[in-house]
């Protein structure tokens, strides 16, 4: 049982940082992939955000190529940027947006020795928060310009990458219903989420799932299962944050039996990156398999929804992503 456009002559400058195990890269040529529909970006005109970012990087004598992309174009743009960086055209690739944008760009860089930076422009920005990257654009640019790199883990489910977590059950349904209401009625994100929550309260999806992890095997009915890229803090002031992203582990969290209202509240707290030790069983593993009598399940990957074939095979990919971020022990 579970117990729970750059000038060709510019070259990167390498120096050894006192608080980093890797060499510090002072990037001179970077490619920024921006999601124009992300939270902050959507509130600003593209010209305004473009000018703000270009000025911030110019203050650090960095040549920045900016691209505004969405949906499939963002995924293809990330792959193309990775190829160009591998060929020496760029010193680093930067994602500008929320966690979904960050995941899409990071997916193209997993396993590559290409520095990856984040400019938090989304609503929650949980990955950036756990990396201690500031939400202010100018401060985030300063982190990138410093060039201090460290390696972090990513999660993998059936070949798909996630940087924060993957979940099954109530959360994917909440997100799909929220996005449907936003599209049809023109609602903003949080009013749409409130209405989606009311519907979920009336028809809470329960899934009979079988989970194998290490030597454990259990079958249960639960409306919510979360698999985290490294463990979440479940108590204290850091509730919902991950103290480390390089421990080479997955955190499996399964909702305990409780009332409909309690389960709905649990789903909403997870929307905000909060988890609760009183409502979840938790174990740490390096790999696990989730089976169901259904051929496909709705799966959330960092807030983006996919329909995936079962079984769902999860694994941790240690040190798979090289990020430009403060050292793990920095305050």
Say how far apart CA 279 and CA 274 lie, in whole Å: 12
Over residues 132-160, the pLDDT tens digits come to 999 999 999 999 999 999 999 999 999 99
> Does the pLDDT value for residue 161 go beyond 70?
yes
Predicted confidence at residue 295, as pLDDT, reads 94
Q: Is residue 124 within 8 Å of residue 101, measured between CB atoms? A: no
Answer yes or no: are the C-beta atoms of 107 and 157 closer than 8 Å. Answer: no
Length in residues, the chain: 331
Higher-scoring residue by pLDDT: 45, 330:
45
Q: 242 and 210 in contact (C-beta within 8 Å)? A: no
Q: Dig out the tokens for 172 from the structure.
A: 């994917």
Two tokens, residue 221 = 């009915």
Between residues 161 and 218, which one has the greater pLDDT? 161
Q: How far is CA 117 from the centre of its chain?
A: 13
Q: How confident is the model at residue 87 (pLDDT cuts 50, 70, 90)?
A: very high
Compare 9 and 213 and report the one with higher pLDDT: 213
SS3 assignment, position 292: strand
* More reliable by pLDDT, 211 or 36: 211
Q: Residue 260: its pLDDT value, please?
A: 65
- If one compares 76 and 279, the residue with the highest pLDDT of the two is 76
Query: In this predicted structure, what is the pLDDT of residue 23?
Result: 61
Q: pTM for this one?
A: 0.84
CB of 169 closer than 8 Å to CB of 292? no
More confident position, 185 or 109: 109
Q: In whole angstroms, what is the distance from residue 75 CA to residue 328 CA?
A: 29
Taking phi over 0 as left and psi of -120 to 50 as alpha, with beta for the rest, 132 belongs to left
pLDDT at position 8 is 38
pLDDT of residue 5: 37
Q: Would the CA dihedral through 231, 234, 235, 237 be positive or negative?
A: positive
Look at residue 33 in the predicted model and tell me its pLDDT. Answer: 97
Higher local confidence (pLDDT), 293 or 208: 293
Tokens of 147: 């060039």
Q: Supply the pLDDT for residue 302.
A: 94
Question: Taking 90 as the threshold, does the pLDDT of residue 72 lie above it?
Answer: no
pLDDT of residue 271: 55
CA dihedral 170, 171, 177, 180 (to 10 degrees): -160
Position with higher pLDDT, 171 vs 41: 171
Q: Are 66 and 73 in contact (CB under 8 A)?
A: no
How far separated are the first and last CA of the chain, in Å rounded? 38
Residue 277: what pLDDT?
57
Instruction: Give the pairing of strands 116-120 and 92-97.
Output: parallel
Rounded to whole angstroms, how far apart are CA atoms 83 and 109?
10
Mean residue pLDDT across the chain = 83
The pLDDT of residue 15: 40
User: 330 φ, ψ to 5°?
Assistant: -70, 150
Give pLDDT tens digits for 32-70: 999 877 655 555 678 889 899 999 999 999 999 999 998
Place of tokens 């919902």: 240
Which of the residue ranges 14-28, 62-76, 153-167, 194-208 would you say has the lowest mean pLDDT?
Answer: 14-28
Q: What share of the chain is helix, strand, coil (3-state, %, to 5)?
A: 30, 35, 35
What's the pLDDT at 259? 67
- DSSP E strands in the chain: the ranges are 13-16, 23-26, 29-35, 63-69, 92-97, 116-120, 149-157, 160-162, 165-169, 207-213, 216-222, 224-229, 250-255, 280-285, 287-292, 296-301, 304-309, 312-324
Q: Are 102 and 133 in contact (CB under 8 A)?
A: no
Model pLDDT for residues 109-120, shown as the tens digit of each residue = 999 999 999 999
Tell me the pLDDT band of 98, cut-offs 50, 70 and 90.
very high
Q: What is the pLDDT of residues 310-320, one digit of tens each?
A: 999 999 999 99
Q: What is the mean pLDDT of residues 12-30?
A: 60
β-strand partners of 141: none
CB-CB neighbours of 301 under 10 Å: 24
pLDDT of 202 above 80: no
H helices present in 108-150, as ranges: 126-130, 137-146
Which domains does the chain carry?
Answer: 13-147 (3.40.50.10330), 160-318 (2.60.200.40)
């Amino acid at each position: 049982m579970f117990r729970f456009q750059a000038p060709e002559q510019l070259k990167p400058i390498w120096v050894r940082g006192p608080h980093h195990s890797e060499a510090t890269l002072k990037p001179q040529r970077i490619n920024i992939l921006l999601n124009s529909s992300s939270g902050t970006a959507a509130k600003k005109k593209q010209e305004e955000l473009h000018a703000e970012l270009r000025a911030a990087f110019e203050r650090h004598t960095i040549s920045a190529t900016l691209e505004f992309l969405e949906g499939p174009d963002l995924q293809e743009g990330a792959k193309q940027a990775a190829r160009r960086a591998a060929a020496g055209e760029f010193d680093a690739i930067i994602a500008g947006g929320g966690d979904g944008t960050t995941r899409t760009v990071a997916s193209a860089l997993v396993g590559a020795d290409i520095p990856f930076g984040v400019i938090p422009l989304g609503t929650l920005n949980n990955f950036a928060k756990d990396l201690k990257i500031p939400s202010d654009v100018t401060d985030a640019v300063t982190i990138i310009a410093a060039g201090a790199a460290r390696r972090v883990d990513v999660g993998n489910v059936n070949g798909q990458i996630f940087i924060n977590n993957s979940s099954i059950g109530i959360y994917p349904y909440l997100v799909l219903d929220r996005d449907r209401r936003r599209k049809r009625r023109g609602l903003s994100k949080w009013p749409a989420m409130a209405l989606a929550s009311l519907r979920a309260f009336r028809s809470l999806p329960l899934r009979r799932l079988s989970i194998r992890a290490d030597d454990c095997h259990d079958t249960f009915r639960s409306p919510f299962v979360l698999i985290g890229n490294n463990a979440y803090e479940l108590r204290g002031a850091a509730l919902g944050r991950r103290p480390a992203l390089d421990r080479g582990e997955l955190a499996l969290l399964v909702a305990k039996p409780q009332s409909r209202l309690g389960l709905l509240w649990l789903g909403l707290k997870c929307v905000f990156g909060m988890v609760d030790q009183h409502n979840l069983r938790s174990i740490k593993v390096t790999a696990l398999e989730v089976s169901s009598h259904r051929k496909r399940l709705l799966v959330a990957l960092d807030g983006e929804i996919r329909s995936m074939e079962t079984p769902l095979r999860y694994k941790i990919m240690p040190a798979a992503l090289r990020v430009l971020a403060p050292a793990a022990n920095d305050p």
